[in-house]
Structure 1
């Protein structure tokens, strides 16, 4: 209403983000999915418990894989080159940082993927009747993820 103080706290839009830490310099992605982590609960019930329900406690944590999609540009084979560095027992691990940015370009939420390496690179589908942009994707496995709000 007119004359009332307005709340200036709004959720961040998800379209303004950056990805750093990949070999070959900064890469502009159009989509990043799979930023998730979970803990598998451990259920325990001791023998003389009067409750018929188990006690639950946190167990081992696990993370999924992150998928990143980007347009294909002339002379840009950085994702394929990174994928080709994977050999038996010699993995090119990096720290990938995904930043959700505010309107000034400052990071407000940061997901850090530790010991990341590519496990799948997918080229674009080709269609002679289409008019879409050529898009490739990379699936990245990682060991741990930290989330911070600087």
Structure 2
């Protein structure tokens, strides 16, 4: 009986660690891209409500603050530099092709992106589904002859909205 009560008590649960996650690009909204799913960092998962202030005539003590629309930050993904070279055992990156098409040809192909948080056994704990995401920025870390660090690709995506998934 005590184990059941402990399982129900949310205050006893340990917080989920943030270092076990996956990023899945869903082609056509359904099929995950099996190559581009490992990233070292994901940021920009946030939203807020933009408010409109309405002043009431003759009322100087307060104003009405009404919800106007949702604001979403861009989803920012960071990973080690990935070459699209098929030779020497390297994997072809569909994500690099999509970013190249956007920035070289100004062609956009929005897709859904699922960011999933896993527990220590690799079981999904929750996640975020970003709908109609498309590239808006791509950068590579500084190249420095005096440094011995990994070159980092930073990929930034805009999206129409996101849904929070809790399991």
Would the TM-score normalized by the shorter structure come out above 0.5? yes
Is the CA contact 1:21–1:95 (under 8 Å) kept in the aligned structure 2? yes
Aligned length: 143
Give per-residue Cα distances to partners, 1:104-149, cap 9 Å, x unaligned: 2122121111100111111232222221122111011111011121
Calculate the TM-score normalised by the size of structure 1. Answer: 0.83
Is 1:147 the counterpart of 2:151? The answer is: no
Higher RCO, 1 or 2 (CA under 8 Å, sep at least 6)?
Answer: 1
CA contact (8 A) 1:121 1:138 kept: yes
Q: Which consecutive unaligned segments of at least 5 residues does structure 2 have?
A: 1-5, 28-32, 86-91
User: Quick one: distance in 1 between partners of 2:131 and 2:160?
Assistant: 6
**What's the Cα RMSD here?**
2.2
Q: Compute the displacement of 1:48 (Å).
A: 5.2
**Residues in 2 aligned to 1:125 and 1:8: alpha-carbon distance in whole angstroms:** 44
Specify every segment of 5 or more residues in structure 1 that has no aligned partner in the other structure, as ranges. Answer: none
1:80-115 deviation digits (Å, cap 9, x = unpaired):
311123245x42100001111111212212111110
Aligned equivalent of 2:54:
44
When structure 1 is superposed on structure 2, of 20-29 and 104-113 the one drifting more is 20-29
TM-score (norm 2): 0.75
Q: Which of 49, 63, 70 is the matching residue for 1:54?
A: 63
- Find the aligned partners of 1:84 and 1:109 in 2 and give their Cα distance: 31
**Which residue, out of 81, 84, 105, partners 2:100?**
84
Alignment of 1:1-150 (within 5 A): 8-21=12-25, 24-25=33-34, 26-47=36-57, 49=59, 52-74=61-83, 75=85, 76-86=92-102, 87-88=105-106, 90-150=107-167
User: Given the superposition, is the C-alpha separation of residues 116 and 32 from structure 1 closer, same or farther in structure 2, using an over 3 Å criterion?
Assistant: same
* CA deviation after TM superposition for structure 1 residue 22, in Å: 5.6
